[in-house]
Amino acid sequence: MMRVPSHLINAAADIRLAFFDIDGTLLDSQGQLRPELFPAINLLKSRGIKTAIASGRPYFAARFLMDELGIQDASMFYTGAHIYDPQTRQTLLNIPLKNDEAKAVFAVATVMGLYAEAYTDSAFYTSQPTEISKVHAEHLRINPILDNVADVINRFDITKLLLGVNRTEQGDLLSVLEVQFPNLIFARAYLSAYPDWQFASVISAEATKSRAFEYLLQYHKVQAHQVISFGDAESDMDFLQMAGIGIAMGNANPNVQSVADWVTQTADNAGVAYAINQLFNSQP
C-alpha cells in the first residue's frame, strides 16, 4: 500500500468535517466495525474535526454504529433524501418520493419479479420473508415489518424504495427499470454475502447528493476544501469528488477509485483508520 501523498497531508491540516459511508467503508465485509476505527475517529475529534455519516442507510439503521463510534454530527441518510442532526434530534431535510412515482416504480418492479422493500423515516417494510430480507435485516440490524408493500405505499410517505435483482438469473433489470423512470435517482448498492445480487435505492430526483452536500456545508459552516469523504460505492462518488479530500476504499471498484484523491486499504483491513492515521497523525 502506497503512503498518502504529501500534498494531501498538507491539505488535511485544513479539514474540519469528515463524512463516512457505512457499508464497505466503516463496516467490513462481515458487517463489523474493526477495532482500529475507534482511536482513529477519536483522533479526528481531538483535532476539532466534526464526524458525520453519508450513507444510503436510514438513520434508524445507522444509529447503532454512530453511537458506538461517537459520530454524532448532522449527517446524510437515504443517499441524500434525509438529513438529520442526532444532537438536536431534528430532521433538517426530508424529500420523500411522490406517491404516484412510488406506486408506478413498485408496480413495474413487481411485474419484473424484483425484490422490493419500502422505507419510511422510521421503519422498512417487505411483503414476505426471504433469504435476502433475512440477510438484509442482519446487515441493517433492524427487522423489517412484514406488510403488503403496495398498501404501505398508499398509507405512508415513502422516502425510498429498495429494489434488488439476481443479475446471474434475471439479468440487469435494474437498468431496464431505470430507463423507464429517468426522473428518479437509482443509487446502486451490493451485499457482499450475495455477489450476484445488485440493489438500487430509488429516491426522488430532488434528493441529489450535491444538494445534500451543499446543505451540510452551510449547516456545519465549512467550505468544500475543509471536508474529507470516505466511500466505496458508485453512490459515494459525488461526495468523494465534491470534498476537498476524497478517499476511496481498497475494496471499491475501479470507477470509484478513479475519482478519489487517494485509495486506502480495504474495509476488512480498517482502511478508514489507516487513511486517518496517515493523514492526521503527522499533523502538529
Residue 160 Cα to chain centre, angstroms: 13
Beta strand ranges found along 75-181 (DSSP E): 75-77, 82-85, 90-94, 115-119, 124-126, 145-146, 160-166
CB 279 within 8 A of CB 268: no
Task: Please name which of 219, 205, 216 lies closest in space to residue 81, comparing C-alpha atoms.
Answer: 205
Which H or E element spans position 210?
helix 209-220
CATH architecture of 99-203: 2-Layer Sandwich (3.30)
Q: Domains of the chain: which residue ranges?
A: 6-95+207-280, 99-203
Q: What pLDDT score does 4 carry?
A: 84
Average pLDDT, the chain: 94
Q: Give me the mean pLDDT over the 71-94 stretch.
A: 96
Q: What pLDDT score does 8 carry?
A: 95
- Using DSSP, state whether 132 is helix, strand or coil: helix
Range in 36-40, 65-69, 128-132, 151-155 the model is least confident about: 128-132
pLDDT in tens, 222-250: 999 999 999 998 889 999 999 999 999 99
Q: What pLDDT score does 283 carry?
A: 56
DSSP assigned state of 154: H
Helix axes 37-46 and 271-280, enclosed angle (nearest 10): 30
DSSP assigned state of 274: H
Joined together, the cell numbers standing for residue 119 give 422505507
Percent of the chain with pLDDT over 90: 87
Q: What confidence tier does 267 reach under pLDDT thresholds 50, 70, 90?
A: very high
Percent of the chain with pLDDT over 70: 98
Joined together, the cell numbers standing for residue 144 give 423489517
As a whole number of angstroms, the distance between CA 217 and CA 168 comes to: 41
pLDDT in tens, 96-140: 999 999 999 999 999 999 999 999 999 999 999 999 999 889 889
The answer regarding whether domain 6-95+207-280 maps to CATH 3.30.1490.20 reads no
Q: What pLDDT score does 191 carry?
A: 75
Q: What confidence tier does 194 reach under pLDDT thresholds 50, 70, 90?
A: confident
